[in-house]
Structure formats: C-alpha cells, structure tokens
Amino acid sequence: MKREPVRLDWTDGNDIRLLQNGADFFPSLCAAIDAATVSVHLETYIFMLDRSGEMVLRCLAEAALRGVKVRVVLDGFGSAATADEVRVRLTNAGAQCRIFRPEPRWFAKLIPSRSRLRRLHRKVSVIDGQIAYVGGINIVDDYDDLDPSDGLTAPRFDFAVKVRGPVVTDAAYAQDLLWVRLNWARLRRHPRDWNRMRLAKPHHVAVAPCGQMRAALVLRDNLRFRQTFERAYLLGITEARRDILIANAYFFPGVQFRRALARAAARGVRVRLLLQGKVEYRMQYHATRSLYDQLLRDGIEIYEYMPGYLHAKVAVIDNVATVGSSNLDPFSLLLAREANVVIDDQPFAWDLQERLETAIREGGRFIRPLDYQRRGLLRRWVDAASYVLLRIGVALTGTSDKY
C-alpha cells in the first residue's frame, strides 16, 4: 500500500471517520443528505426498499423537491428487483436515476455473457462535493432481510468511511465519469464531452484540506484501473513487518495473492483472516473453505465470524488500513467496478484493528488445523466441487490461470 509502483493518488489533509454497520452509516448518510444544499450523488449495488432503504429514498426525494441536484446510479443486477420503482419515485420528485447495465428480459437472461458479470459493485455517495461516503454497505437494512430461522444474533458486519478533504475530489470525479458514460446518446452526439471529463478533473469539486490524515481513493474498473487495488494489496503484504489482519466477505484470491500471504507468514508476520462463518451464498462459502488447508499449512490464522453475516471488505496492514467495497474474489478483482479508501494513519488503523479483534474475540470461531483436516468426506466433496464450479466461472474472464 505504498506509493510505488501502484501510483496511488495520495492526498494529505483528510478527515476520515470510521462507520460500523448500518447503525452508524444510515443516520450519518441521511443527515448529510438532509443538510445538502447543492448536490447529492449516490451509487450503490443493492437498493432494497426495506426500512433503511425507504428512509434513504425519502431523504433523496425530499432533497430533490427542495431544489438539490440529486443523481442516483443503481446496478442493474444487484438492484434488479427494485430499480424500476426507485427510479420512478426519484424521477417524480425531480431527481435523476440511471441503471448500470440493466438485466436483459425473458430468455435473454439464460444466455451466458461476460458483460453481464461486469457490475457496479462500489458504494459511493458525495454530498455537496464536500463529503463522501465510501465502503461496503449497500442500501439494505441490517436486520430486515434476515431469516429468523437462521438463528443470527447480530446485524450484518460491515464498514464504511465518512470523508472530508481532497479524497472527496477523486470520488466526485469518478462519479462524474460514470454518469457521463451512462449517457451514451449524448456521448455519440458530443464525444468531446467524454474526452474533457476523462482528461481533467472538474474544478468545481476541488476540496480544501480539513484534517490531518493521509489517504487515497483506489478504484477498480475494466479500463484504466484493472489491477490497481490488487497491486496495492500485494505491495502492502510484501512490505508488512508485523501484522496483517484481513476481514473479507468473499475470500478467493488468486495464486499470487495467496503466495504473498504465505511468504509474509514465513518471515514472521502475523497473518489473520476473518471470514464468513454464516453461509450466505453456498458456492462462494465452500469454495473459500477449499483454500483453508493450504492457508493453515502456511501458518495463517483463520477465524470465521459466527454472530451474523460478515459483509466487511477491510484490512489493516501494520499502520495502514483500507475500507471499501472490494472483496478478494474474482468478481471484485477481475470484473466489477469497486472503490476503496486506503488510509495511512496510525490512530485510524488501530481503531479498525481493535474493532476487528473485538469481533474475533466475541464472535470468531478459530479454525484449528487438526479439526479442519478431520472434517467428513461429504464436506470435503462439497468444498472441492464448489472450488471447481467457481473456477469454471473464472474461466469466463479468460484469467483462470491466476486461480
């Protein structure tokens, strides 16, 4: 996570607040939208019309009705069930709403297509060009979509950050680029608009320093930033000297990433993974477990989060932290649009690390190597089969050799 050779756009003078779960995130986001006077731009993968979703939608509509410029981008797959209703309700209030790669209708859904896998997975909101929210939290209530039969005792475990300072400029710029790109009709008529947006950051979103924190916005897309996030991670792992703590919902990184973790453990770095213990998507869960044997042999500690669904995509490597939307799996690393904030600030990193260690102490199940090796034949078969199926999916990207 250093500056070279990944060339992160580090900026000083940021003020960044860590938000844990929807209990922190939604009240803060809604208060910022309610206070907006100029603009609100929100992007999300999932927008559910549950308790929290209705609250956010109401705040967006009220902002538009009082004259604030409101723009919303929803992913066509993640928000497929609600996108039409959300768009209608926002449009009726005077806001604008666009859908990223709408899902095809009828039998067209059955046709395999790599383009359908390229989703808008990032969760970024910018208010008045001065405040940004970046993280892994969708517009989904922490409790409303839980099945009581699952026996979960805690809300979905996730993080976001509230940012003030120059990093907001980069977030607003990324949103503007995508917004213009989604308007293909205008781009065909005025291609110079795209070139101007692509080559120069708009001056109207420049944000002055307002804190003491060093940070960078790290994007992942299928054009300019295909490997930026993964390379930043790899550099951080390679240069770690004391501690690597990763909490990730869907952990299925490539061979190079796993080898980097193994080398770090071999040189004395304590490497810990906090992964899903409650099954949300079975194939991803069991494919991840197929990696456990080698990870444990490499001296890596694995904990599974048991109180609720783990949805976090965060890490602390020595005194550097990252919070964002990117999982460490082929979907995020090879296909989706993602956004993470990397924070080079010791107090922030220690705060995030303490929260993760608390989750491990209070709800983490330690995976003991002998217990894992003694698991039954059926579990071994399910893990292996899931691994094969996921690799078949990766083959659609043309990079199966990396996994």
Q: Would you list the domain boundaries of the chain?
A: 14-205, 213-402
Residue 123 annotated as catalytic: yes
In 3-state terms the chain splits into helix, strand, coil percentages (rounded to 5) of 45, 25, 35
Which helix (H) or strand (E) element contains residue 391? helix 377-395
Which helix (H) or strand (E) element contains residue 74? strand 69-75
Report pTM: 0.90
CATH class of 213-402: alpha beta
Residue 204 annotated as catalytic: no
Out of 41, 162, 278, 313, pick the active-site residue.
313
At 154 the pLDDT is 82
Q: Residue 39 forms beta bridges with which residues? A: 69
Which helix (H) or strand (E) element contains residue 96? strand 96-100
Residue 41 annotated as catalytic: no
pLDDT tens-digit profile, the chain (403 residues): 444 456 788 999 999 999 999 999 999 999 999 999 999 999 999 999 999 999 999 999 999 999 999 999 999 999 999 999 999 999 999 999 999 999 877 665 656 666 667 899 999 999 999 999 999 999 999 986 555 555 567 889 999 999 999 999 999 999 999 999 888 645 555 566 555 555 555 444 567 788 899 999 999 987 777 788 899 999 999 999 999 999 999 999 989 999 999 999 999 999 999 999 988 888 888 888 889 999 999 999 999 999 999 999 999 999 999 999 999 988 888 889 999 999 999 999 999 999 999 999 999 999 998 877 777 788 888 888 887 887 776 666 666 556 6
Residue 128 annotated as catalytic: yes
At 280 the pLDDT is 81
Q: Is the dihedral of CA 153, 246, 218, 101 positive or negative?
A: negative
| Phi, psi values for residue 249, rounded to 5° | -70, -45
Q: What DSSP character marks residue 119? A: -
Out of 158, 318, 344, 345, pick the active-site residue.
318
Which helix (H) or strand (E) element contains residue 378? helix 377-395
Taking alpha carbons only, the member of 100, 57, 54 closest to residue 80 is 100
Question: What distance in Å separates the CA atoms of residue 135 and residue 133, rounded to the nearest whole number?
Answer: 7
**Count of Cβ atoms closer than 10 Å to residue 89 Cβ:** 18
Q: Which fold would CATH assign to domain 14-205? A: Endonuclease; Chain A (3.30.870)
Residue 75 annotated as catalytic: no
